[in-house]
Structure formats: C-alpha cells, structure tokens
Structure 1
Amino acid sequence: MKLQIGIVGLGKFGLKFGQTLVALGHEVLGVESDPEKVKNAQHILTQVFQTDAMSREALEQIRIQDLEHVLVSVGDSIAASIMISMYLKELGVAKVWAKAINKDHEKLLYKIGVDEVVIPEFMAAKQIASRIAMPGFIEYLPFDRSMAVKEFTIKRWAGKNLKELNLTNIFGIQVIAARRSGEKKYQYIPKADELFQEGDNFVAIGKISQLSKILP
C-alpha cells in the first residue's frame, strides 16, 4: 500500500529517511526553511515546500494534516522539535514520529503525545554492537526491543528438518526464511519437511535470549 508521508527538516537524517521511503514506492512531502536543503531534496522527494515549520498556519496551509505519518527531524533544536511536534498533533496528523538528540528530549516528546521517538546515534551504536556480539544478527523489532531477527548457518542440524527440530515449541522462535548453500535467494515460510544440508541458512524471529541459545 502506497503511503503519504511528511518529513519536517531535510538535513542528512531527514533526507535519507525520505529517499529510502521514495525508493520503497511511497510519496514523500518534505518541509524545510533552508533554500539550499530544499534545492537538494527537490529531485529526491515527491514534493518539497520551503516554509517555516515553526508556524502552525504554514503547516496547515500545506495540508500536512492530511498525511498518515510525519517525521520531525529538525537538527539539534529541542524547542523547535517540540513545538512542531505539538502543532502536528493539534492539527490531527495520525502518526507523528520525531528524532531526538538525547533521552531527556525523548521524554519531552512522548509527554506531548508523539507516537514514536528515535535517537539515531543510540540506534546505530546498538545495531553495530549487536552485530559484533551476536553473529548473524539482522535487526531489532521496533515494537519490542527484546525481540530480534537473526540468520543462522546449518552445521550440526544437517539432515534434519524444521518439523523434527520443533524450534517453536522448544525455543519459542519462528523460522521465516531459508536459503540453500550457494544460493542467493531465500525461500520465505519454508516447508517443515525439507531437510537441511550443511551450509544452508535460515532466518528466525524470536526473543534475543532464546536466539542466542541456538547452535545449529
């Protein structure tokens, strides 16, 4: 389903966020006061407005309230971030996300009703540390940080299948994809009776505490 998403603030994070969404097939409306940043974004995003997002009237005039999601990414200005987020909630934007620069900023944003807050530096550090400490780690799940997605390579389990391994009941994890050794493409929702061979890979979702126990 194609979404209509707004981004207020087109610095490095905001513009990259928008570029990724456009590549995924969504429509992205950018809002930025800096003419140079507007110019850089015009060939990347669906539509770009040069306006002062600190003005509630300006936001209303560009019909930002009609969008399903809006991300507020306005650099290091905590005051601007909070004011703009508050205006968006008052205007009736369904889902407001905001970038924070620290934990106190995050708390303030949640107090005014922001639906989701991201601290990019914290997220990046945690992802990198997890990739080093937990080989095969792919991603945390945004709705539950105790859950993750991890890739495994078959060694000890060669000659067995998912039905025999009974991973859901024993470990509480769910295998969502599998790939034969030497192949590039994954088979999603793999069949339970197909035998694993040494060097095959599978991707599972589950609690980090359980995923770390798996030695396939």
Structure 2
Amino acid sequence: MKVNQFVIIGLGRFGSSLGTELMRLGNEVLGVDRDEEKVQDLSHILTHAVVADATEEEVLRSIGARNFDCGIVAIGDDVQASILATILLKDLGVKKVVAKAVSDLHGRVLERIGVDRIIYPERDMGIRVAHQLVSPNLLDYIELSQQYTIAELAVPQCLSGKSLDDVNPRGRFGCSIVAINKPKGIIIAPVAKDVLTIDDVMVVIGTNVQIEQFQDSIRQ
C-alpha cells in the first residue's frame, strides 16, 4: 500500500482520532494546532506535530504544506479559522483538501471555496446511529450519495444456512451482497453458492429503498 502524507490542521477530538487512525494504516501525518497541550499529547503518535497558527500563509509555507498529498482542516470551534486555513491550503496548491463543517452554512462556504471533500462528523454519525437503532441487524451504514448506500448487516437466524442464491437480494429487491465477512476472513464478490451463517456480516450495496426493503424482509 502506498504511503500517503497528510497534514491535519486542528487536533481536537476529530483531528486527533483521524490522525491516529491514518498512522495506524501506515501513513505519515503532520499535526498542526495552536494549543501546545494538544500537540504534546499527539507528539508520540503522529509522524510530526507542531504548535503553529495555520491561518498564516507563511506558517503553512514553512511546514511545507503544499508538498502533502492531502490537507485536512479539522478545526471545529472557530469557523473563521477553518475557512482561512482552507483558503490558504487551496491557494498553496495542496493536491487534495478535505475540511470538517460544523453546519450547513459552513459547508456551503467550504463548497464555494472549492474543497474536494466536506465532512460533517456529528451529522453523519447521527444518521448512522439512527439507522442502527431502528434496524437491529444493521451494524454500519455509509451513504454514498442521496440514492445509494453501503450497509453492513448481521446475518439473522432466518438466513443462516441459506446460500446467496436462496436469499437472492438482487432478484427480489435490486440490491447486491458484495462481500461476506466471516469469522475466518472476508469473501469479496461472493458467488451464488456461498452460504451464510449466523456469525457472518453481509456487506450490501444498493439504493436506500432497496436496502430498506431487504432489511424489512429479514427483520426479526
């Protein structure tokens, strides 16, 4: 796997969690924050962590921000600082800029700036938790677009021992099981003869309506 280099501006709960996971996945991460305590806490976890004001262009130039594969603005408590840092990363020519938004208005401003991806951590987590609460078999839920979703569904008792041909979600509902996570490993692109068991997790892709219909059919 290619090692990518990330610069994360803002080391609050979201930024620190993101940086820690990126490091675990084998990437290089530079963390930037004005709070010395936050930087100190992550200095032994990230590749580098520096105390700096990322709303100053010279600061971003001095740390070589333009050379990173991706710049992530994870500032959540200061919308003005978030927007300024984002503009500077774009102006410096960072290849990909991702920014956290704390509101729809904040997100619209970031979109106008030309951010490559806008993340709404609180909103997105709320949506995922809501779906998990109303669907007992739903383990995770990722919205790909307004129409399409990837969902992880625990195999209920009613499907245990059945093959994908027996379940036939594509023929019955239009959604597809694209992977089966079994205790001994994951099956990518399973075939019709693969059999589900109670300990398996199905990875399903389809429209929101298709997946909801499939969930309703297996709800216990």
Q: TM-score, normalised by structure 2?
A: 0.86
Aligned partner of 1:110: which letter? E
Question: Which one has a larger percent helix, Structure 1 or Structure 2?
Answer: 2
Q: Write the distance in 2 (CA, Å) between the matches of 1:155 and 1:76.
A: 46
Counterpart position of 1:95: 96
Counterpart position of 2:82: 81
Counterpart position of 1:17: 18
Q: Offset of 1:31 from its aligned partner?
A: 1.1
Q: Write the distance in 2 (CA, Å) between the matches of 1:132 and 1:82.
A: 34
Counterpart position of 1:3: 4
Please state if 1:207 is matched with 2:207. Answer: yes
Q: Offset of 1:137 from its aligned partner?
A: 2.3
Counterpart position of 2:119: 118
Percent of paired sites with the same residue: 33
Determine if contact 1:18/1:28 at 8 Å carries over to the other structure: yes
Determine if contact 2:128/2:142 at 8 Å carries over to the other structure: no
What value does the CA root-mean-square deviation take over the aligned residues?
2.2
**Equivalent pairs, count:** 213
The answer for unaligned runs of 5 or more in structure 2 is: none
SS at match of 1:65: helix
SS at match of 1:45: coil
Counterpart position of 1:163: 165
Q: Offset of 1:155 from its aligned partner?
A: 4.1
Counterpart position of 2:175: 173
Q: Write the distance in 2 (CA, Å) between the matches of 1:36 and 1:123.
A: 28
CA shift in 2, pair 1:25/1:179, >3 Å: closer
Q: TM-score, normalised by structure 1?
A: 0.87
The answer for unaligned runs of 5 or more in structure 1 is: none
CA shift in 2, pair 1:101/1:178, >3 Å: closer
CA shift in 2, pair 1:7/1:190, >3 Å: same
CA shift in 2, pair 1:167/1:37, >3 Å: same
Counterpart position of 1:188: 188
Determine if contact 1:21/1:27 at 8 Å carries over to the other structure: yes
